[in-house]
Structure 1
Amino acid sequence: MKDLILDVDTGVDDALALLFAVRHPELRLRAVTCVAGNAGLGQVVANTLKVLDAAGAPDVPVSAGAERPLIEPARDAGHIHGADGLADLGLPVSARRPAGVPAVDLLRDTILGAPEPVVVVGLAPLTNLALLLRACPEVAGNIERLVLMGGSASIGNATPVAEFNVWHDPEAAAIVMDAGVPVTMYGLDVFYHVSVDAPTCAELLGHDEPGSRLAGLLLRHQIALCGADPRVNGDGLLGDAGAVCAVADPGGLTTERLPVSVELAPGRSRGQTLVDRRVLPGEDAAHGLAGTANGVDVALAVDALRYRKLFLDTLLSGPPA
């Protein structure tokens, strides 16, 4: 059993990740922290509680964190995730209530109180995690690994070179990647490969069980959104859920330990993850201009069918006993 904490900005694919994390038998979801990103903070918290209801989750503590990035204003992704961040599905309001402590406090207490090192999965802008690692560096000793859905070794989506979660708060991403904790970067190089086809989505929609039906609704939204994208071939992206699949089954992911830094300068390259894949040193190193970058396990390939099956088998297993 692996202890898990999710840091989310619950839009559509965060919701799929929450459904999977609650239902996988080898994952124990100990806490969920929320940050502004796909939607505003209050909406993210409300969405998270609704999804935990549909998943049949136990009483998992949920806490609100940063309302905006460290430096810049918040910029949501309503054009992707819907006005409410959750495909405008109109899910019923949850009777659950968030924990009465800030996200950084919940993260600190949960990590330090865990009997074994925990895996922290960041599926959102990394503001909460940066604040935690700066304010409470002692938590690093009880974090097994940070798995981050963010970044790219190739193209971006928020800009031509920057992925949304890193672009939303580049300073936070730079802090987290250089905190001395083992990091896996589940970025856009694998993100677009793990998906569910339309017939399977239709099967999920036919289920009476709330979690399965919610997954079908969310994937239907993804199909409508991404159907013309040649990287997806008319399927619905699992998105963030793939990063949690990689925690449950790391053998489906091919990674390479590479130096990664985050571009912080103003301009269109701001938020780019500079992944150094060179075999030999370049002129920057020869002239003392290379600087240093932390080694990150960068995901470069994924067994998409393996993770698709893992997701569906886990989701259809039903709520935890």
Structure 2
Amino acid sequence: MSIPVILDVDTGLDDACALLLAARHPDLDLRAVTCVAGNADVDQVVRNTLLVLAAAGRHDVAVARGASRPLLEPARAARHVHGEDGLGDLDHAALGLPAATGEVDQRHAVELLRDELLAAASSGERITLVPLAPLTNIALLLRTYPEVAKGLRRIVFMGGAAAVGNATAAAEFNIWHDPEAAAVVLDAARELEIPVTMYGLDVFYDVRVSRDEAVELLAVAAPATRLAGALVQAQCVKFGTPSATIGDAGAVCAVVDPAGLTTSPLAVHVELAGARTRGQTVVDRREWVGDLDHDPHGIPPTVVDVALAVDGDRWRRLWLDSVASK
């Protein structure tokens, strides 16, 4: 049976790679997509999401607009990575992409998530929630409607890292963009006993598609396949590299093919106060903690499955096969 999933996105280049995979893989049942400010402003995120789903031929998937800014701070788009439109400023007409004609659900993203998860619970299902963006929508959901935990199988989110940062030397972009939301989600997941997997920067860059493979995808007539090639090519051109990461799509791969990922259950804390470390996911990897009287913080109370290694070639092929399928 297919796995029911909902994606929460801030659709930039790598979110688009993830959307194409979730929309086209036969083992996934994409129930809905919710949008939040992050890589671009939330209205642009909605437009980008509708464009990707239209290219994938998935007008049946509900799309809802969510939070337009983090819980406490202004939104800070990542145009330096994703372009002015958040999607690499691609020439849609030249790619032969269909117009983003899908309608936006009139419910707020949090209400759509609530309705889908409670409906799943009432029918005996459980949905895997895959946030690929700042966790603002998910924090609002879990604190406002904690009963949705009954319809959640687990949360697999792209964010954080055990060792590195990108928005800052310490913090990954999604967590840095709204660290309070990330802290709320981890705390709520512990209270509600929701299993969580953190797919962070430690593995994010390890699933890569070559520029030559992008050219092959661009030669295919199917709009979704051409878009997939354009997404990879845009990154290769922008960063001057022979290959590009599929980024957020790895979190979707983790749902489809968990055997390709190595994780470890580790205590995680989101740093909120550090002048240079705000937004860092502090992952406690101590093998022996001994007497913690010397440590005023102790061990963070929330334990999640932290991604530490990935079979990049295996997931590269999974993504290519999915986006190139008819």
Q: TM-score, normalised by structure 1?
A: 0.95
2:116 to 104, 110, 116: 110
Asked if 1:206 corresponds to 2:219, the answer is: yes
Is 2:8 aligned against 1:7? Answer: yes
Q: 3-state SS of the aligned residue for 2:315? A: helix
Q: Percent identity?
A: 58
User: Which residue of structure 2 aligns with residue 259 of structure 1?
Assistant: 267
- The CA distance in 1 between the partners of 2:64 and 2:204, in whole Å, is 26
Q: Whole-Å Cα distance in 1 between the matches of residues 133 and 228 of structure 2?
A: 19
The answer to whether structure 1 residue 25 and structure 2 residue 26 are counterparts is yes
Change (3 A) 1:178 1:32: same
CA contact (8 A) 1:46 1:93 kept: no
**Cα shift at 1:58:** 3.9
Superposed, 1:64-213 pairs within 5 Å as 64-91=65-92, 93-114=99-120, 115=123, 116-179=125-188, 180=190, 181-213=194-226
Secondary structure, in 3 states, of the residue corresponding to 2:58?
Answer: coil
Compute the displacement of 1:141 (Å).
1.9
Give 3-state SS (helix, strand or coil) of 2:69's partner: coil
CA contact (8 A) 1:108 1:132 kept: yes
Unaligned 5+ runs, structure 2: 93-97
Output the amino acid matched with 1:223.
C
CA offset at residue 292 of structure 1? 3.2
Could you say which residue in structure 1 is the equivalent of 2:256? Answer: 248
Letter in 2 for 1:311: W
CA distance in structure 2 between the partners assigned to 1:47 and 1:284 by the alignment: 48
The CA distance in 1 between the partners of 2:237 and 2:292, in whole Å, is: 45
3-state SS of the aligned residue for 2:163? Answer: coil
1:54 is aligned to 55
Following the alignment from structure 1 to structure 2, what is the Cα–Cα distance between the partners of residues 10 and 134? 24
Query: RMSD value over aligned CA atoms?
Result: 1.3
Q: Is contact 1:223-1:237 (8 Å) kept?
A: no
Instruction: Note the C-alpha offset of 1:289.
Output: 3.5
* Contact residue 284 and residue 300 of structure 2 kept, 8 A: no
1:15 alignment partner AA: A
Q: After TM superposition, where is structure 1 displaced by more than 4 Å over at least 4 residues in a row?
A: 282-288
Q: Which amino acid aligns with 1:78?
A: R
Q: Matched residues in 2 for 1:268 and 1:194: separation?
A: 29
Q: Contact 2:59–2:102 at 8 Å: present in 1 too? A: no
SS at 1:98 equivalent: coil
Alpha-carbon displacement from aligned partner over 1:37-94 (angstroms, at most 9, x marks no partner): 0000100000000000001114111000000000011000011000000111143641
CA spacing shift, 1:35–1:155, aligned 2, 3 Å: same
- When residues 83 and 306 of structure 1 are mapped into structure 2, their CA distance, relative to the original with a 3 A threshold, is same
Q: Deviations for 1:119-141, whole angstroms, at most 9, x for unmatched residues?
A: 00000000000000000000112
Q: Which amino acid aligns with 1:196?
A: V
Correspondence 1:39 to 2:40: yes
Quote how far apart the aligned CAs of 1:314 are: 1.1
Give 1:279's aligned residue: 287
2:245 to 237, 240, 262: 237
Closer, same or farther: CA 287–165 of 1 in aligned 2, 3 Å = closer
C-alpha distance in 1 between matches for 2:238 and 2:268: 31
Three-state SS of the structure 2 residue aligned to 1:178 is helix
CA apart distance, 1:96:
0.8
1:202-227 alpha-carbon deviations (Å, 9 max, x no partner): 10011111000001111001112334
* Distance across 2 between alignment mates of 1:75 and 1:272: 17
Q: Confirm or deny: 8 A CA contact 1:111 1:118 kept in the other structure.
A: yes
Distance in 2 (CA, whole Å) between partners of 1:147 and 1:287 is 30
Structure 1 unmatched runs, 5+: 229-233
CA distance in 1, matches of 2:206, 2:295: 39
Deviates further, 129-138 or 140-149: 140-149
Match of 1:231 in 2: none
The 1:317/1:72 distance shift into structure 2, 3 A limit, reads same
TM-score (normalizing by structure 2) = 0.93
In structure 2, the CA distance between the partners of 1:14 and 1:285, relative to structure 1 (3 Å rule), is farther
Deviation digits for residues 162-197 of structure 1 (CA, Å, limit 9, x no counterpart): 000000000000111122211100000000100101
